[in-house]
Amino acid sequence: MNELSWFAILSTIAVVLAIAIGVIGPAIAMGRAISSALDAIARQPEAEKSIMRTLFIGLAMIESLAIYVLVIGLIVLFRNPLLEHLLG
Amino acid sequence: MNLDASVLLEFGPLQITDTVVTTWGLMLALVLLARLLTRNLSAKPDRLQALSEGIVSLIEDAIVQVLPDHSKQVLPLVATLWIFLVCANLIGLIPGVHSPTRDLSATTALALLVFFSVHWFGIRNLGLKAYLKHYLSPSPLLLPFHIIGEITRTLALAVRLFGNMMSLEMAALLILLVAGLLAPIPLLMLHIIEALVQAYIFGMLTLIYIAGSLQSQRQTGSTTPPSAGDDPAPPKPPNKEHHHE
């Protein structure tokens, strides 16, 4: 096995692990946010509109953490800056 | 699988990608549509006018809920962002057309627009001095954190929209490779929902950031009188969209 195939294997493993581990945190956070929003709506149904609005914004904020992981993963897979070092 | 937008034309160092073409086409179409819809407004609206007025008043209601005092001021920016982003996110569903928001350059441009307009609204309403003072507000020690916050939230705005749109498109493409024709259709339904949600969130975050930059007015309102320039002139003719109510 030459260096390049090691590079491919290792970066693939790294990206898979990064996505798998990196999604755990946002998943827990989203679950907690949704459950407490449902609690609040059950307690105060008349406040549903503002709760839903805040919930959506919060979910977007949390989701962007997972999106960062994805973007980093895509950079490592498709546009790895270290690859130039290896080839050139 | 390509991450980059494909280059259609090239003038020396300047590359015209399909993102630019789609964006300008969309802008042209929206401007023409707006022109056409507002050409002969009447007090007794026909069906199209009622529809467009419904859209505008829906957006206006959403803005008034967050920012009641300055809704007239921010309505053009936020409504344009919403309408443009809904069209731009959904246009990717047409085969052969890529949605412009799957290009990081396009979303960065939009995020920069939001970044500058937040400061512009803040300075216009508070005055330069009062606006800059809110960066030092609890204590000058927090200035670096304010600045980092400004930069990261702009970056997050760009990357969130880009990542969502591109990952969905990529997921549909992967399903197509694995499972074949017609299999990605359920995923495309998810794409529609996600496109609408992301457009909503982008506009809403813009609104909240602008509200945040205007918020310091309330806190400092007791010490400095609010500038008179931000109130819409009272003798204005009533809004067109309330005629049918």
- % of chain B beyond a pLDDT of 70: 86
**Taking CB atoms and an 8 Å limit, are B162 and A71 in contact across chains?**
yes
Contacts of B7 (CB under 8 A, 6+ apart): B15, B16, B17
Q: Quick one: pLDDT at residue B3?
A: 57
Measured in Å, how far apart are chain A's first and last C-alpha atoms? 19
Contact status, residue B135 vs residue B146, Cβ threshold 8 Å: yes
| Mean pLDDT value of segment A10-20 | 93
Contact status, residue B85 vs residue B203, Cβ threshold 8 Å: yes
What residues of B are in contact with residue A79 (Cβ under 8 Å)? 3
For residue B15, give the DSSP letter.
E
Bigger pLDDT: B216 or A72?
A72
Q: Token pair of B141, please? A: 């020690």
CB pairs under 8 A between A and B: 41
Whole-number Å distance between alpha carbons of B38 and B57: 15
Q: Quick one: pLDDT at residue A44?
A: 92
The closest of B143, B148, B134, B158 to B216, measured between CA atoms, is B134
Q: Quick one: pLDDT at residue B216?
A: 56
pLDDT at B29 exceeding the cut of 60? yes
Q: What residue numbers bound the domain in which A45 lies?
A: 3-87
Q: Quick one: pLDDT at residue B2?
A: 55
Quote the number of domains for chain B: 1
**SS3 state of residue B9:** strand
Bigger pLDDT: B141 or A40?
A40
Is B74 a domain residue? Answer: yes
Q: What residue numbers bound the domain in which B168 lies?
A: 7-39+47-222
The DSSP string of A11-74 is: HHHHHHHHHHHHTHHHHHHHHHHHHHHHHHHHH-GGGHHHHHHHHHHHHHHHHHHHHHHHHHHH
Interface of B with A in 140-199 (CB under 8 A): 156, 159-160, 162-164, 166-167, 197-198
Evaluate if pTM is beyond 0.90: no
CATH number for the domain harbouring residue A13: 1.20.20.10
pLDDT interval class at B231 (50, 70, 90): very low
Whole-number Å distance between alpha carbons of B35 and B30: 8
Q: Side chain identity at A2, as an amino acid letter? A: N
**For chain A, what is the mean pLDDT?**
89
Contacts of B125 (CB under 8 A, 6+ apart): B70, B73, B214, B217, B226, B227, B229, B230
| Mean pLDDT value of segment B109-131 | 90
Is B229 a domain residue? Answer: no
pLDDT at B244 exceeding the cut of 80? no
Quote the number of domains for chain A: 1
What residues of A are in contact with residue B207 (Cβ under 8 Å)? none
**For chain B, what is the mean pLDDT?**
81
Is B25 a domain residue? Answer: yes
| Mean pLDDT value of segment B65-76 | 86
Give the model confidence (pLDDT) of B147-201 as tens digits: 898 898 899 899 889 988 888 888 888 888 888 788 888 888 888 988 898 899 8
Instruction: Give the CA distances from residue B38 to residues B49, B77, B87, B183, in Å, rounded to whole numbers and listed in that order.
Output: 8, 18, 19, 42
What residues of A are in contact with residue B162 (Cβ under 8 Å)? 71
> Does A81 lie at the interface with B, CB-CB under 8 angstroms?
no
Q: Quick one: pLDDT at residue A27?
A: 95
Whole-number Å distance between alpha carbons of B188 and B178: 15
């009447």: which residue's tokens? B42
pLDDT at B226 exceeding the cut of 70? no
**Taking CB atoms and an 8 Å limit, are B65 and A68 in contact across chains?**
no
Q: Quick one: pLDDT at residue B30?
A: 93
Interface of A with B in 36-75 (CB under 8 A): 49-50, 53, 56-57, 60-61, 63-64, 67-68, 70-71, 74
